[in-house]
């Protein structure tokens, strides 16, 4: 059985001003997030986020949780890995045949 990977998934984002104000109001917001998403959720500050229509970055906080791959994701990942291996072997074989034609038995 293939080992499942842990995926860090962004589940929400907040404008930077969401966490401005008094410490007690910021604490309440954070405690609400902990209650909803658990204590292991991660809050990252992204100061370089750009919306498609903006010329300048709009800082925001991004909320991430870690989760284990689903069966469908494992199956898709293994399929993609097998497809990459097949394409690489196909390219190697084509390169070998090209070099064999070019140099023949000069080895």
pLDDT, mean of each 10-residue run, the chain (107 residues): 87 93 95 94 93 89 94 94 97 93 76
CB 62 within 8 A of CB 44: yes
Predicted pLDDT of residue 9? 94
Predicted pLDDT of residue 63? 96
Predicted pLDDT of residue 50? 87
Q: CA 78 to CA 88: how far, in whole Å?
A: 15
Predicted pLDDT of residue 26? 94
Predicted pLDDT of residue 1? 60
Predicted pLDDT of residue 51? 84
Predicted pLDDT of residue 107? 53
Which residues is 68 bridged to in the sheet?
6
């Amino acid at each position: 059985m293939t080992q499942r990977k842990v995926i860090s998934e962004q589940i929400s984002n907040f404008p930077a001003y969401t966490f401005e104000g008094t410490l007690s109001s910021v604490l309440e917001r954070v405690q609400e997030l902990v209650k909803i998403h658990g204590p292991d959720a991660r809050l990252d500050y992204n100061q370089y986020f750009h919306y498609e229509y903006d010329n300048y970055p709009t800082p925001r906080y991004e909320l991430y949780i870690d989760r284990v791959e689903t069966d469908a994701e494992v199956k898709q990942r293994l399929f993609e890995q097998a497809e990459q291996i097949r394409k690489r072997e196909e390219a190697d074989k084509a390169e070998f045949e090209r070099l064999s034609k070019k140099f023949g038995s000069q080895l």
